[in-house]
Amino acid sequence: MKPIIELNNLTFKYQRTDARPALEDVSLSINQGEWVAIIGHNGSGKSTLAKTINGLLLPESGSVKVGSKELNEENIWSVRKMVGMVFQNPDNQFVGATVEDDVAFGMENQGVPRDEMIERVKNALEQVRMSEFATKEPVRLSGGQKQRVAIAGVVALRPDIIILDEATSMLDPEGREEVIATIKKIKEENNLTVLSITHDIDEAANANRVLVMRQGQLVDEGTPEKIFSAGPKLVEMGLDLPFPEKLKQSLKQRGVDVPQNYLTEEGMVDWLWTSILKK
């Protein structure tokens, strides 16, 4: 496994006079093909971190390495070719007047010839199951559909890394599931690296690794199982409790002796029926 993103001692301030930097001495590395979730409170620096990776923000000190290149002002555009980003608000990142125009926008920027664009737009829309909406305008789409179009726009560019900057936070539960399933599928098919910034428990549960940020610093990291077993502390970290954890807590309050380690929903079901049978 070779690292595709490396951050070394990254520090960033929005204003020189800010008392506390938005990012303070952050170092991390992400391997190719990994799905990493970054969680943390509002204002913990998650989004800032995402923006430093493709050069939308330039760090004050420290270095960002994407692929094997160190990000600087000269290679910023070639780095952006490797990194596709899906943002929070589905309305505000829709550039094109119709779905296909929007998917094509990134390719137009790279000067992809038109015949190839038509092909790639078609494929990308198929991958996110939006083909029948190709000529629709953004006002006619739901939030989840707009996010899927944004993902198609990223997929059509064939990046190595997809960054989801709270891409599901403005969607309803259905839209959220749709978008996560789409990303999951595309990640498997194209062997992408996914970096998702999220408050959403399901999104974090899908990750290979979870990073926890607090006040601009990286405070914890581990597998979702390890992070989720922190129990009630999760809420402080900026995540909701997963449903099995909530159930465990309610059972605990009623005096039931529950296992300490994290259980998935399936694990919880297994544990429940075995413990009922034992009685």
Residue numbers of the site for other proteins (CB under 8 A)? Answer: 51, 54, 56, 77, 80-81, 83-85, 87, 89, 91-98, 100-101, 104-114, 117-118, 121, 137-139, 153-154, 157
Of residues 89 and 215, the one with the C-beta less far from other proteins: 89
Q: Give me the least distance between CB of 124 and other proteins, in Å please.
A: 13
Q: What is the Cα–Cα distance from 20 to 13, expressed in whole angstroms?
A: 8
Q: How far is the CB of 171 from other proteins (least distance, A)?
A: 16
For the bound state, the minimum distance from the C-beta of residue 167 to other proteins, rounded and expressed in Å, comes to 12
Residue nearer to other proteins on the CB measure, 97 or 235: 97
Query: Which one, 34 or 101, has the nearer CB to other proteins?
Result: 101
Nearest CB to other proteins, comparing residues 155 and 201: 155
Q: Tell me the closest approach of the beta carbon of residue 108 to other proteins, in angstroms.
A: 5
Query: At its nearest, how many Å lie between other proteins and the CB of residue 58?
Result: 13
Residue number with CB closer to other proteins (54 or 127): 54
